[in-house]
């Protein structure tokens, strides 16, 4: 393993948060069609690899998601690798740049405490606001904020929304 890559220890069940950035922070997914492509591929692979997305936010040069495995957490690495390969091939085909590196790396965090889980859910739901893409997260169609607001029980929505995330250490300087 390359010594600067994040360590991926995926042996325990539970929720995981994943963050990935485009190589050189390039805005390679800066169109509705490209954002749709990444989101659709993420959902398709989550179903194939038996992961339940809990929160997601996909931007032009990075993404975050929180998901829970139905079975083994070890499948996360394969799912992310397949997501990156498929989206890289697609965007390189669109840009006529075969072989260009699209994704830099990804980071995963095993969420073992309920408070950490709630804070990260809220962080991911609000990431488009953090990056000043929209004034309110529900206005951004490539994140889970609107879905969460509509589908979550009101008490759970209120609980998650109340968690502060300003002190979380998440790689997000995109």
What is the number of domains present in the chain?
1
Q: Are 88 and 103 in contact (CB under 8 A)?
A: yes
170 in a structural domain: no
129 in a structural domain: yes
What residues are paired with 109 via a beta bridge?
17
Report d(CA 9, CA 29) in Å as an integer. 28
Residue owning tokens 């995926």:
10
Residue 81 has phi, psi (to 5 degrees) of -60, -45
Task: State which residues form the domain around 92.
Answer: 15-161
Give the pLDDT means over successive 10-residue stretches in the chain (174 positions).
35 83 96 98 97 97 96 92 98 97 93 92 96 96 96 94 83 71
169 in a structural domain: no
Instruction: For the full predicted model, state whether its pTM sits above 0.85.
Output: yes
**Residue among 68, 79, 13, 75 nearest 45 (CA):** 79
9 in a structural domain: no
1 in a structural domain: no
8 in a structural domain: no
pLDDT of residue 174: 67
168 in a structural domain: no
CATH number of the domain within which 93 lies:
3.30.70.1290
């Amino acid at each position: 393993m390359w010594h600067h890559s994040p360590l991926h220890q995926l042996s325990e069940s539970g929720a995981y948060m994943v963050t990935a950035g485009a190589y050189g922070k390039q805005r390679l997914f800066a169109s509705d069609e490209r954002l749709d492509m990444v989101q659709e591929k993420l959902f398709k692979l989550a179903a194939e690899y038996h992961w339940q997305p809990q929160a997601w936010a996909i931007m032009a040069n990075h993404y975050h998601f929180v998901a829970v495995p139905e079975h083994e957490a070890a499948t996360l690495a394969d799912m992310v690798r397949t997501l990156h390969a498929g989206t890289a091939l697609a965007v390189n085909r669109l840009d006529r740049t075969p072989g260009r590196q699209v994704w830099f790396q990804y980071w995963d965090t095993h969420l073992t405490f309920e408070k950490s889980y709630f804070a990260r859910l809220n962080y991911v739901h609000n990431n488009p606001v953090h990056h000043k893409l929209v004034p309110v997260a529900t206005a951004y169609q490539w994140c889970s904020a609107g879905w969460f607001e509509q589908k979550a029980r009101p008490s759970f929505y209120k609980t998650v929304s109340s968690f502060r995330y300003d002190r979380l250490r998440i790689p997000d300087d995109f």
